[in-house]
Chains A and B, each alone.
Chain A
Amino acid sequence: MSLKSTVSIAAVAVVACAAATGAFAQDRYKPPVAELEDYVRDAMPPGISVQHSDVDGPVFVDSRGHTLYTWPLDRLRNGDAGEQKGKPTCDDTKYTENSGLMSPYPPGLILPDLDTRPTCIQVWPALLAPEGAKEVGKWTVVEGPKGRKQWAYDGFAVYTSVLDTKPGTVNGATRREQRGDAPALRKPIGPTPNHPPAFAVKTVATGRLLTNHVGFSIYTWDGDQANKSNCDAKCLKDWAPVQAPQTAQAQGEWGVIERSPGVKQWTYRTHPVYTRVQDRRFRSLEGGDMPGWHNVYTQKNPEPPKEFTVQDSRIGQVLADKNGMTVYVYQCGDDALDQLACDHPSNTQAYRLAICGNGDPALCNRTFAYVPAPANVKINNLIWGTSWINPTTGHAAKPNEPGALHVWTFRDRPIYTHGGDHKPGDANGDAWGEFNGYRNGWKAFWLRDDFLSNAG
C-alpha cells in the first residue's frame, strides 16, 4: 500500500468517525504536515471521537471537538496530588491557601489573586456521562463530587480545558513530559498508536518519534527502495534491520519484506526500518546526522514560523528567534491541592513576576522578554500563534491597545528570550526558576538533547 493511499484512508476514517458522532465534522482540524499518525480504532462512547493535533498526536475530543484530559495521581515532595482511578476530586472548592506539597515552604500561605482564582471544575469541566451511558472498552462511568456521573478513561476521570475553544487545540497541556518537580499535570488522552508490538511512539520536541519497543530510535535510509532494502554487509555494520517475526503480517502503514531467505524486516510507509548500532541513548537523533539516514516520525510537528531559527547551543539544539537568541517557554503550577496552572496570561501573574523580576514588571521584561511578532502574520497551524499582551500586567490586551505588545505564542502562551543571553548559542535562562524551572520558571525551547531528556 502506498503512503499516499494510507494517509487517504486514515483521513477518510477520521471524517467517517466524525460524521458518526454527528458533531463538528466541518470544523475538524488537519495539522499542516505531510503525514498524520495512524491509531487503533477502538470503540468509543457516542459523542467522543479522535482529532489529530499539531504536537500531541491523535487525541480524544468531545462532541465539540475539545480535547479530553485526565489528571493522574503524581507524587510530589510532601505528598500526592492528582486523582486516583475511579475517584474524581476536581470540584468547586476555591482553595485559598497553598498545600505545602512542595518543599521547603510551609502550608497555609494565602494564595495570590484570590478574587480571580477559579475553582478546579471551572478550569477543568468534567466530561459528563448522560443518563444510561454504556461503558465501552477503556471508557467507564465514575461518580465524582456531588454525585456527578462523568466519563473515565482507563479508570481516570475525564475533563476538558477551558483553554481549548476549537478542535485541534491542546492548550490544557503545558509540557511535553512531566519531570522533576513539575506540578501534578493534566494530560491529554488519545488512542493507541497503530504499530506492531515491536515499536513505540513517543512525543518529542520535534514530533511523534518512532522507536523500537525498548526506546531506541528507528531510522530509514534513502539508499533503499520501496519495500526493498539495499543495506549491504558494510551498511549492516552500522545499521540493524528491525526484524519481523515469521508470522508477522502487513497491516496499514506497516509491511514485511524478506531481506534474505528466512529473514524478514519491518517496513513503515514502504521504507525498510533500522536501528542504529551506535545509538547509546533512547530517542537519539544522532543517526539522522548520517547522510541519507532519517529518524522516523509517525507525525512531525508543524514547522515553526519562518521568523524563527534553529541554533546549536551549549545545551543542545534549540529554537531561537530571528537573531539566533534562544527561545524559552514558561511553565508554572501552583501548590494548592488542585494544582492549577499559572503559566497562561489568563492566570495570576504573581508567580512569573516574582521569578523574572522580583515583582517588578520592568525588570521582568528585561530578564525574560516577550518575542515580538510582526503584524498580520499568517499561521497555518494551531500550536503557534500570536497574542496581544499588556507587558505590565502580563495579561492579555486588546489588539493595538496603547502599550500592548504583539507577541509570539506557543500553545497559546507567550514565549521569551532571556536577558542573560548575549549571543546565539547562549542558553543561560534554562532551568531558571523554582525547581529548575519546572514548578515556576523557564526552560529553553529544546529541539534536541544528545545527553538528557529535555527534548523528549
Chain B
Amino acid sequence: MHRFSAKALLACVLAASTSLATGTASAAADTASALPATVKNGTIGFVITHRYWAVHQSPEGKVECPNGYNDGPREQFKQQFPEDGAKRTLMDTQLMREGRQWHPTTAEEPFTFKDAGGKVSYGMNLDGKVKDSDFTSPDGAKGIDNQLYRAIGCISNYRAPEGTIYHFENEFMRRYNNNRFLIELSGVDSLVNDADVTVKSYRGLDNLLTDATGASFIPGGTQRIDNRFGKFVQSTWKGKIVDGVLITEAADVTIPASATFDASAFHVLKGARFQLKLTGERAEGVIAGYTPVDAFIHHLNTSWSTHHQSYGQLSSPSLYRAMHRLADGYPDDKGQMTAISSAMSVQMVQVYVDHPPQTVAEMNGAAPAPVQPSRE
C-alpha cells in the first residue's frame, strides 16, 4: 500500500516543475497550438531511444563523490582475501560471495559504501513535500525525490559516459526488440496545452528507425504492439499537457530492460509518472517513481554478472544494503520501506503505433476466438 493518496500525488505532480534540462516550457507555449501532422485522430506515439538512471554529475564527481567512487567485486575480494599466500577454498570465497549476491541481506558488511552527496539531482517531487533528504533540481525545483541517486551516484557503472551499465543498457535496449518500450497519447487536442490526455504504454515489436548513419533515431517509424508476450508492459495514465510538457498521474509500470546473453530482465517503477517535453517528433524528460529494491537488484543480477558488474566497480550486495537504507517509499507491514525514489532520463522519437489484431481469427476477419498455446 502506498503511503500517499492518488489525489495528493496528482496535485503534487501537477505542481511539480520539470527538473531535467529539457529546455524551457515557455518556448513551447509561444508556439502555435496547431496539431502536428504526426498526431492522427488525437493520438501520437513515442518510442524510447535513450533511457538512463538519472545521475547528476559534477566535473570528475568532486561535488557528489568527494571521497571517490565505490569499490566493486574485484576490490572487495582483494580486501576480503588479500594476496598473502594463504590457500583458500572456492566455497569460502567465490561461492560465498556469489551466494550473497543472490541472497543479499542488510546485515553490516566490512566495506565502506559511498553515498552520493550534494543537493542537486534530477527527478521529480514524488511526495509533494520538501524534506531535508530531498534534492533541488538543476533548474531550481525543490523537493526532488531521488534517493536512488544517492545510492548509485558514486558507482562508476552508472555514470556517464564511460559507465558500462550506463552505456550498454542503452546499446542493448536499442539492439533487442524485446526491450522496445513505447507510449501512445490519445485524446490529444494540442501538444501545447491539453487538460486531459490518456497515456498508454506498450512493448513494440520492431526495430528503431535510424538515419543513414545508424547512430541517430528519426521519427516516423512504425511499431507493432506486442499483445501476446508483452502485456506486462501495458499500463495507463491520465495526464495533462502544460506549456508543451506532458505531466501524468502515477501508475505502476514495468519496463523491459534486458541486457545481452539472452537475458529477460525488466525495470519496475511503482507510482511512475512522466514529465516529458513534447513536440510532434520527439519527447524528452523524465520517468520518475519508486523502484522496489528487490526488483532493482533482481534486474541487476539477472542482467549483469559479477564479472560485468566488476567493470564499473559495482557490488550488488553493497548496493542492496545502501538501497534498503535509503529506501523511502512503499512501507511493508513492519514499516520498512521497500522501494526507493528514482528517476530515469529518457528521450523518445515519434512512431506510428500499429495495433495488430489480437487473435489469428481477427487477422482473418472472423470473430475473435481463443487461441490455444502451441506445444510445438
Binding site for B on A (CB under 8 A): 77, 98, 102-106, 108-112, 179-181, 206-207, 285, 288-291, 295, 297, 300, 303-304, 310-317, 350-351, 354-359, 363, 367, 420, 425, 427-428, 430-440, 444, 447-454
Task: Supply 26 A–B pairs (Cβ within 8 Å), ascending by A.
Answer: A77-B307, A104-B73, A104-B74, A104-B310, A106-B77, A110-B88, A181-B261, A181-B307, A206-B375, A206-B376, A285-B376, A297-B376, A304-B375, A310-B375, A314-B230, A317-B229, A354-B95, A358-B103, A363-B103, A420-B298, A428-B298, A430-B264, A434-B306, A435-B305, A436-B302, A452-B178
Q: Is B94 an interface residue (CB 8 A)?
A: yes
Q: Please give me the residue from chain B that is nearest to A293 by CB atom.
A: B360
**Given A111-B90, A431-B265, A451-B177, also A314-B98 (CB < 8 A):** no
Q: How far is the CB of B113 from chain A (nearest CB, A)?
A: 19
Q: Is B176 an interface residue (CB 8 A)?
A: yes
Q: How far is the CB of B278 from chain A (nearest CB, A)?
A: 29
Interface centre among B102, B228, B262 (most CB of A within 10 A): B262
Q: Interface digits, B289-319 against A, CB 8 Å rule (1 contact, 0 not)? A: 0000000001001110111001000000000
Q: Please give me the residue from chain A that is nearest to B261 by CB atom.
A: A180
CB under 8 Å from chain A, chain B span 89-106: 89-91, 93-96, 98-100, 102-103
In the complex the two chains form, is A291's CB within 8 Å of B307's CB?
Answer: no
Interface centre among B74, B264, B306 (most CB of A within 10 A): B264
Q: Is B371 an interface residue (CB 8 A)?
A: yes
20 new A-B contacts, CB < 8 A, other than A108-B87, A359-B95, are A104-B307, A105-B94, A180-B261, A288-B376, A290-B363, A312-B373, A315-B229, A354-B96, A358-B102, A363-B103, A431-B265, A432-B301, A433-B102, A435-B261, A435-B307, A448-B376, A450-B228, A452-B178, A453-B262, A454-B264
In the complex the two chains form, is B77's CB within 8 Å of A105's CB?
Answer: yes
CB under 8 Å from chain A, chain B span 157-182: 176-178
Q: How far is the CB of A245 from chain B (nearest CB, A)?
A: 30
Residues in A neighbouring B73, C-beta threshold 8 A: 104
Cα-based distance from A428 to B294 in the complex (angstroms): 12
**Given A105-B94, A206-B376, A358-B103, also A438-B307 (CB < 8 A):** no
Cα-based distance from A288 to B266 in the complex (angstroms): 28
Cα-based distance from A359 to B95 in the complex (angstroms): 9
Cα-based distance from A288 to B263 in the complex (angstroms): 25
Cα-based distance from A72 to B360 in the complex (angstroms): 44
**Given A105-B77, A290-B360, A427-B264, also A350-B95 (CB < 8 A):** yes
In the complex the two chains form, is A358's CB within 8 Å of B89's CB?
Answer: no
In the complex the two chains form, is A432's CB within 8 Å of B93's CB?
Answer: no
Q: Please give me the residue from chain B that is nearest to A449 by CB atom.
A: B262
Q: Please give me the residue from chain B that is nearest to A359 by CB atom.
A: B99
In the complex the two chains form, is A98's CB within 8 Å of B90's CB?
Answer: yes
Cα-based distance from A300 to B298 in the complex (angstroms): 35
Cα-based distance from A14 to B223 in the complex (angstroms): 50
Cα-based distance from A288 to B90 in the complex (angstroms): 47
Cα-based distance from A425 to B264 in the complex (angstroms): 13
Residues in B neighbouring A317, C-beta threshold 8 A: 229, 373-374
Q: How far is the CB of A76 from chain B (nearest CB, A)?
A: 11
Residues in B neighbouring A316, C-beta threshold 8 A: 229, 264
Closest 8 CB pairs of A and B: A451-B178, A358-B99, A354-B95, A180-B261, A431-B302, A315-B264, A358-B103, A103-B307
In the complex the two chains form, is A431's CB within 8 Å of B374's CB?
Answer: no
Cα-based distance from A303 to B376 in the complex (angstroms): 9
Residues in A neighbouring B112, C-beta threshold 8 A: none
Residue A109 contacts which of B74, B90, B100 (CB distance < 8 angstroms)? B90
Q: How far is the CB of B83 from chain A (nearest CB, A)?
A: 8
CB under 8 Å from chain A, chain B span 69-94: 73-74, 77, 87-91, 93-94
Q: Is B364 an interface residue (CB 8 A)?
A: yes
Q: How far is the CB of B179 from chain A (nearest CB, A)?
A: 9
Residue B91 contacts which of A112, A180, A449 (CB distance < 8 angstroms)? A112
Binding site for A on B (CB under 8 A): 73-74, 77, 87-91, 93-96, 98-100, 102-103, 176-178, 228-232, 258, 261-266, 298, 301-303, 305-307, 310, 360-361, 363-364, 371, 373-376
Residues in B neighbouring A303, C-beta threshold 8 A: 375
Residue A207 contacts which of B98, B177, B376 (CB distance < 8 angstroms)? B376
In the complex the two chains form, is A109's CB within 8 Å of B262's CB?
Answer: no
Cα-based distance from A304 to B376 in the complex (angstroms): 11
Cα-based distance from A444 to B373 in the complex (angstroms): 17
Q: Please give me the residue from chain A that is nearest to B361 by CB atom.
A: A291
Residues in A neighbouring B261, C-beta threshold 8 A: 179-181, 431, 435-436, 438
Q: How far is the CB of B266 from chain A (nearest CB, A)?
A: 7
In the complex the two chains form, is A295's CB within 8 Å of B266's CB?
Answer: no
Q: How far is the CB of B321 from chain A (nearest CB, A)?
A: 15
Residue B100 contacts which of A179, A356, A358, A425 (CB distance < 8 angstroms)? A358
Cα-based distance from A242 to B302 in the complex (angstroms): 40
Residues in B neighbouring A112, C-beta threshold 8 A: 89-91, 95
Q: Please give me the residue from chain A that is nearest to B73 by CB atom.
A: A104
Q: How far is the CB of B133 from chain A (nearest CB, A)?
A: 30
Q: Please give me the residue from chain A that is nearest to B230 by CB atom.
A: A314
Q: How far is the CB of B285 from chain A (nearest CB, A)?
A: 27
Q: How far is the CB of B203 from chain A (nearest CB, A)?
A: 9
Q: Please give me the residue from chain B that is nearest to A300 by CB atom.
A: B376
Residues in A neighbouring B374, C-beta threshold 8 A: 285, 288-289, 310, 317, 448
In the complex the two chains form, is B229's CB within 8 Å of A314's CB?
Answer: yes
In the complex the two chains form, is B262's CB within 8 Å of A454's CB?
Answer: yes
In the complex the two chains form, is B310's CB within 8 Å of A103's CB?
Answer: yes
Q: How far is the CB of B311 from chain A (nearest CB, A)?
A: 9
Residues in A neighbouring B91, C-beta threshold 8 A: 112, 350, 354, 359
Residues in B neighbouring A357, C-beta threshold 8 A: 99, 103
Q: How far is the CB of B258 from chain A (nearest CB, A)?
A: 8
In the complex the two chains form, is B229's CB within 8 Å of A291's CB?
Answer: no
Residues in B neighbouring A428, C-beta threshold 8 A: 298
Residues in B neighbouring A444, C-beta threshold 8 A: 264
In the complex the two chains form, is A314's CB within 8 Å of B232's CB?
Answer: yes
Cα-based distance from A425 to B373 in the complex (angstroms): 13
Residues in A neighbouring B95, C-beta threshold 8 A: 112, 350-351, 354, 359
Cα-based distance from A437 to B102 in the complex (angstroms): 11
**Given A104-B310, A358-B99, also A181-B305 (CB < 8 A):** yes
Q: Please give me the residue from chain B that is nearest to A336 by CB atom.
A: B90
Residues in B neighbouring A447, C-beta threshold 8 A: 375-376
Residues in B neighbouring A355, C-beta threshold 8 A: 98-99, 102
Q: How far is the CB of A103 from chain B (nearest CB, A)?
A: 4
Cα-based distance from A428 to B232 in the complex (angstroms): 13
Q: How far is the CB of A208 from chain B (nearest CB, A)?
A: 12
Cα-based distance from A355 to B98 in the complex (angstroms): 7
Q: Please give me the residue from chain A that is nearest to B260 by CB atom.
A: A180
Q: Please give me the residue from chain A that is nearest to B97 by CB atom.
A: A105
Cα-based distance from A273 to B14 in the complex (angstroms): 59
Q: Please give me the residue from chain A that is nearest to B99 by CB atom.
A: A358
Q: Please give me the residue from chain A that is nearest to B264 by CB atom.
A: A315
Cα-based distance from A100 to B91 in the complex (angstroms): 15
In the complex the two chains form, is B98's CB within 8 Å of A104's CB?
Answer: no
